[in-house]
């Protein structure tokens, strides 16, 4: 995937309803001019994917999912496969979000398997990486993030890895109201780009963690950043529309 236009991905997490899909998409689709030139992706929970797919049909906003099974099919009760998601028109899938790593026991092996599943059906994996507050305090942010990336890189090879989007999301910044400083974002993402470039890989790097309408333009216009992964601020249509339009203005 090219790195030209900025991307804003809204991750609804375990929130939302059919009513929210309807009112949210109406606001977004009625105001397309405000975010023309950037790519917007919405990732509702699985149960709202079909309603979201129907509401977004024919418009500029892409459909994304928050998770995918590491398996292709079979006796895996409660799982949703990559082919199932793709058949609903899902174009992207968030993989390795810190909430899943921390509370659902997702390790690097499982995450790499999910990335493979997504790629096998042509969905773009949005691979999330980031350090804890303790790791940051120890000065280990860069090493931790590179370790998370390199496990997947080794599992799938550099050619496939180049098809990913990577989201740098410091864990301590998620849902906390404090974003990483622009200096820190620049330092980490410059290092990631440099390491990947040595392998001939160029891919979009997003930032996530307490992004809102007020800070979106500044963060998304950093030279190493191709867009934003947004949690809380993607649940209210007016706020998300403003966030997208501020990103488009800064693009
Ligand atoms: P937040 O979440 O924007 O609410 O901090 C970001 C994320 O979890 O991707």
pLDDT at 105: 85
pLDDT digits (tens, 9 = 90+) for 7-18: 999 999 999 999
In the predicted model, is pLDDT for residue 167 greater than 50?
yes
Could you confirm whether 169 is annotated as catalytic? Answer: yes
Q: CB within 6 Å of ligand 1 — which residues?
A: 11, 169, 174-175, 208-211, 229-233
Mean pLDDT of 210-228: 97
pTM of the model: 0.96
Which of these is catalytic: 70, 131, 135, 169? 169
Task: With a cut of 80, say whether residue 77 has pLDDT above it.
Answer: yes
* Rounded distance from Cα 10 to ligand 1 centre (Å): 9
Report the distance separating Cα 144 and Cα 136, nearest Å. Answer: 9
- In angstroms, the CA 36 to CA 244 distance is 9
On the question of pLDDT at 102 being above 90, the answer is no
- What are the C-alpha distances in Å from 218 to residues 160, 167, 212, 235? 31, 17, 11, 21
pLDDT at 202 over 50: yes
CA neighbor of 179 nearest in space, from 222, 152, 208: 208
Residue 104, Cβ density class (10 Å: 0-12 exposed, 13-18 middle, ≥19 buried): exposed
- Which of 115, 68, 110, 116 has its CA nearest to residue 90? 68
CA distance 98 to 127: 10
Which candidate in 70, 97, 99, 131 is catalytic? 97
Integer angstrom CA distances of residue 179 from 74, 83, 125, 156, 188: 41, 35, 23, 31, 14
Give the residue-averaged pLDDT of 198-215. Answer: 97
What is the CA(219)–ligand 1 centre distance, in A?
Answer: 14
The SS3 call for residue 234 is helix
Helices of type H across 138-221: 141-156, 158-161, 182-198, 216-220
Rounded to the nearest whole angstrom, what is the distance from the C-alpha of residue 95 to the centroid of ligand 1?
14
> Is 167 in contact with 126 (CB distance < 8 Å)?
yes
In this prediction, residue 251 carries a pLDDT of: 67
Q: What mean pLDDT is predicted for residues 81-107?
A: 94
Query: How large is the average pLDDT for residues 116-138?
Result: 97
The model's confidence at residue 88, banded by pLDDT at 50, 70 and 90, is very high
Give yes or no for residue 201 having a pLDDT over 50.
yes
How remote is the CA of residue 98 from the centroid of ligand 1, in Å? Answer: 10
193 is catalytic: no
Ligand 1, atom 3, residue with closest C-alpha: 231
């Amino acid at each position: 995937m090219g790195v030209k236009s900025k991307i804003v991905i809204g991750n609804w997490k375990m929130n939302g309803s059919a009513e929210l899909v309807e009112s949210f998409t109406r606001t977004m689709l009625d105001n397309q001019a405000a975010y023309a030139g950037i790519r917007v992706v919405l990732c509702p929970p699985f149960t709202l994917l079909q309603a979201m797919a129907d509401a977004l049909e024919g418009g500029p906003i892409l459909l994304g999912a928050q998770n995918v099974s590491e398996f292709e099919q079979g006796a895996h009760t409660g799982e949703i496969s990559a082919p199932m998601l793709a058949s609903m028109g899902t174009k992207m899938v968030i993989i390795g979000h810190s909430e899943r790593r921390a509370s659902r026991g997702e390790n690097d092996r499982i995450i790499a398997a999910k990335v493979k599943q997504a790629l096998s059906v042509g969905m773009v994996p949005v691979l999330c990486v980031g350090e804890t507050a303790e790791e940051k305090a120890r000065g280990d942010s860069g090493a931790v993030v590179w370790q998370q990336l390199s496990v997947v890189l080794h599992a799938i090879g550099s050619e496939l890895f180049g098809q990913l989007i990577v989201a740098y999301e410091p864990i301590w910044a998620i849902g906390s109201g404090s974003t990483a400083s622009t200096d820190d974002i620049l330092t980490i993402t410059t290092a990631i780009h440099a390491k990947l470039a040595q392998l001939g890989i160029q891919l979009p790097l997003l930032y996530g963690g307490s992004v809102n309408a007020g800070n979106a333009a500044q963060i998304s216009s950093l030279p190493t950043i191709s867009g934003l992964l947004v949690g809380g601020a993607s649940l209210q249509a007016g706020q998300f529309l403003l966030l997208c339009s501020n990103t488009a203005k800064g693009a």
